Chains A and B, each alone.
Chain A
Amino acid sequence: MSPEQFAGKQAGELITPAENTWCPGCGNFAIQHMMKSAVAELSEEEGIPLENFVLLGGIGCHGKLVDYLTINSFYGIHGRSIPAATGMRLANPDLKIICHVGDGDIYAEGLDHLIFAAKRNSDITVIVHDNRVYGLTTGQYTPTSPFGFRGRSTPGGITEHPLNPLEVMLAAGATHIARGYTKKIRHLKDLFKEAIMHRGFSFIDVLQICATYFNLTDYYNIHAYEMQESDVETGRFESALGKIREWDYDRDAPIALGTFYSVEKPIYEEKFQALTAGKPDRRALVRKVIEEWR
């Protein structure tokens, strides 16, 4: 049995009995299945036990993903997955911790956590289901909706321009930055695997189709392209910045897919690891500290 077949079989067993309630045509299916395959393949290829993976979900259509996979999960609250993920990584360095978050979830409600996790190079993976609209609350604009977007809370069209989340992440200190697209699923899976295996903070903005409220399939199919190795020097900040600025989520431009930036830096959680190593008798340590006061 080849590894691929084995992984495929294993992946098939990762589906829970929970009823899937995404709309037909939703980009979340692609993310779910590629995540499932990425985890199964990494488990097989890298020897990472399945029980060492943890998925986190925020609140929004994206979050349902964690209910659909038989993988450890923390289905948390809107915008707050990232600090919980850092806590898990602090507690157990063997865990592979993957945050599934939405664009409203993490670019609006929880942007502070996203920026700080990048700044401290927390060893977690953040995958943004960026459909550029609020789905579960039925169609309002998000921080990546383009100028003029007419949502239910902004029927006259928004007068603000979107964030370029990749540029924000680069400025904040993220050590691995990529963009995927839910219609390019094999590419997406490879991006997932690469990000999960990155040592440090890894970030993927996934352009995700919202079939109901903001279907950009045709637009993305025309503008998106997979980067070649020669398109960007992923170890150079300036090169990554230039490529990231090629498209600003607003005006028409080619939309590059792939890894923009990937460097190694010290990991936040590592310096804390030694503090709680072993099984110290803390009660004896408490007594010692009190004794020293006398």
Chain B
Amino acid sequence: MTRLITMSEYSVLIGGKAGEGINTAGLSIAGLFSRLGYRIYMYFDYPSLIRGGHNFAIIRASEKKVGAHRTPVDVLLAFDQKSIENHRERVHDGTTVIYDASQTVQAEGYGLPLDRIIKEEKAPPITGNSAMLGALARVAGIDRAIYEDVLRATVPAKHLPANLRVAGRGYDAVVDVFTVEPLDHPTLPVLTGNEVTGLGLVYGGLESYVAYPMTPTSNLLHFLAGHAEDLSIKVLHPENEISVILMALGLAYAGEKAAVGTSGGGFCLMTEGLSLAGMSEIPVTIVMGQRPGPSTGMPTYTAQSDLHFVLNAGQGEFPRFVVAPGDLEEAYTWSATALMLSWKYQVPAIILTDKTLAEGAYSYDIGAVPPPPDREPVLWDGVGEYRRYARGEGGVSPLAFPGREGAVVKVSSYAHDEGGLTTERAEGVRGLQEKMLQKGESLKAELATYPTVKVYGPYDAGTTIVCWGSEKWACIEAAERFGARVVQPLVLAPFPVRHWKEAMIGAGRVVCVENNATGQLARLLRQQGFDPGRPVLKYDGRPFAVDELAARLGEVLT
């Protein structure tokens, strides 16, 4: 099966049981290619259990930026039989298979006697991942020093010698099959959407993060908790999501910028607090990582099925900001922006991600990220009597916080007057409602200068693929095969009508790609008076592979 291949990209699948460290092993493989200058995307697929089951990661390394996986793989690293059986469609003539021969895996390719290697090297079982890493390096013609560098960077010092020995055994057990040529590109860190969202929030001014664990945003909680000292932030984990959002509102009322994170089920519990944020005009930023519902659904899989939920959650009418980043660069910039705009306009801001983006790993080029805009909240000037809901410019009332001499800061969930006292007078409540909506208009006006709708590909294509969030990169790549344009609305509320119209000039045939069953972006577009074109939907909990999407697009475009 030796063959010479020259290609600018590689896909590697590593699979095994939960608890065998497949995610970490996948990130080590990503590190291997990163060190050679490749851009990485890693899809991690795992069921909702702690031990057993079948986990796998697909690591795609390319010369150019990638944000989606392909179905075929060049190397399959199998710790168990399921890793062979479940992925037969991915294997082709050129695929190199390496498997754990001690697990009686029936496969063709290179069998590694992992049990024996581990026993002889007196190493813990988890080092089997290092044997696979070494073997992968060898078949891919990657120098021993490269994988050793990966292990040095990721394995704790006391376990390093054992891992290096086991990796060496893996390397020596197989042969050169092809050669991954080093690229003249810098090594980029490989980060997840959760990590970059957290960093973006802190860049935007975050001081406290509050969350109750829920996939797919638990890792955002873990990441920020693990870096609380490095980033000088408080990270809090209270008793439930109701407490989460109320705690955040309490923090913000007292002057501290706070964000929360959750998924659909937790967001259900937060909706009363969301409406309170709208009425009391207390800023809060919510990271909403979607996963398939209804109800518990498939906790560890992906979906884009909560768009209308976040657009409409909470009783009553109040403005909100909703943004759906499609990759790390957008997640960073827009997380920072969301938090700043939430404070500037005193509205809730929702960063809508999903499992694909939140837990997917990507090469992150911070140098290519334009710095987010600097936006400051409007603060009270200390003159005269303080009224929390004074009618300020654009409907925004200057902020003061409790403890400020000369100010009595009264916020309320009830309809209230400018001073914050309850009122049910007709003209008073009408004015209050109009003030709130005016903030939405001000926010919309500010967003006119932001890149709220992105366009990729040729303008004269005659075919336009519309998508949002994490499907962006699968669409960009698949569109190339049809010479099509891709249009991605980043901001979903307030809806950027003018930017949308501009992006869709000469759109031609339109296809709307979404990870849901009913076409939620399409519904939003129709509400705004736009034709969303033909739907291409996927609702099995998995993101589109590039080739899979291209085939589906082919069905509607040809």
A270 to B256, CA, bound (A): 16
Given contacts A16-B421, A91-B254, A282-B202, contact A112 B243 (CB under 8 A): yes
Closest to B239 in A: A116
A73 to B199, CA, bound (A): 33
Q: Which residues of chain A are within 8 angstroms of B256 by Cβ–Cβ distance?
A: 87, 90-92, 276
Selecting from A156-164, A196-204, A285-293, the interface stretch reads A285-293
* A103 on interface, CB distance cutoff 8 Å: no
What 1/0 flags go to B396-438 for Cβ under 8 Å of A? 0000011111111111111010011110000000000000000
Q: How far is the CB of B478 from chain A (nearest CB, A)?
A: 30
Whether A83 and B250, one on each chain, are in contact in the complex, defined by CB atoms closer than 8 angstroms, is yes
A88 to B410, CA, bound (A): 14
Whether A90 and B232, one on each chain, are in contact in the complex, defined by CB atoms closer than 8 angstroms, is no
Whether A282 and B411, one on each chain, are in contact in the complex, defined by CB atoms closer than 8 angstroms, is no
Given contacts A88-B250, A286-B202, A289-B227, contact A51 B404 (CB under 8 A): yes
Whether A49 and B405, one on each chain, are in contact in the complex, defined by CB atoms closer than 8 angstroms, is yes
Q: How far is the CB of A93 from chain B (nearest CB, A)?
A: 10
A113 to B247, CA, bound (A): 11
* A272 on interface, CB distance cutoff 8 Å: yes
A11 to B1, CA, bound (A): 89
> Please, how many residues of chain A have a CB less than 8 angstroms from a CB on the other chain?
52
* B489 on interface, CB distance cutoff 8 Å: no
Whether B236 and A290, one on each chain, are in contact in the complex, defined by CB atoms closer than 8 angstroms, is no
DSSP class of A's interface residues: helix, strand, loop or mixed?
A: helix
A39 to B100, CA, bound (A): 72
Closest to B229 in A: A275
Q: Which residues of chain A are within 8 angstroms of B246 by Cβ–Cβ distance?
A: 76, 80, 82-84, 87, 113
Residues of A21-35 whose CB lies within 8 A of B: none
> Please, how many residues of chain B have a CB less than 8 angstroms from a CB on the other chain?
64
A103 to B60, CA, bound (A): 58
* B313 on interface, CB distance cutoff 8 Å: no
Partner of A95, one of B239, B254, B258: B254
Selecting from B48-56, B106-114, B203-211, B521-529, the interface stretch reads B203-211
A242 to B408, CA, bound (A): 42
Q: Residues on A close to B: CB < 8 A? A: 16-18, 49, 51-54, 59, 64, 66-67, 70-77, 80, 82-92, 94-95, 112-113, 116, 272, 275-276, 278, 280, 282-283, 285-290, 293-294
Listed by A's residue number, 28 A-B pairs whose Cβ atoms lie within 8 Å are A18-B422, A49-B403, A51-B402, A51-B408, A53-B402, A67-B410, A67-B422, A73-B410, A73-B420, A74-B253, A76-B246, A77-B276, A87-B210, A87-B249, A90-B234, A91-B252, A92-B401, A112-B243, A113-B242, A113-B243, A113-B246, A275-B233, A285-B231, A286-B199, A286-B231, A288-B230, A290-B189, A294-B189
Which 6 A-B pairs rank lowest in CB-CB distance, beginning with the nearest? A87-B250, A293-B189, A84-B250, A91-B254, A91-B256, A83-B246
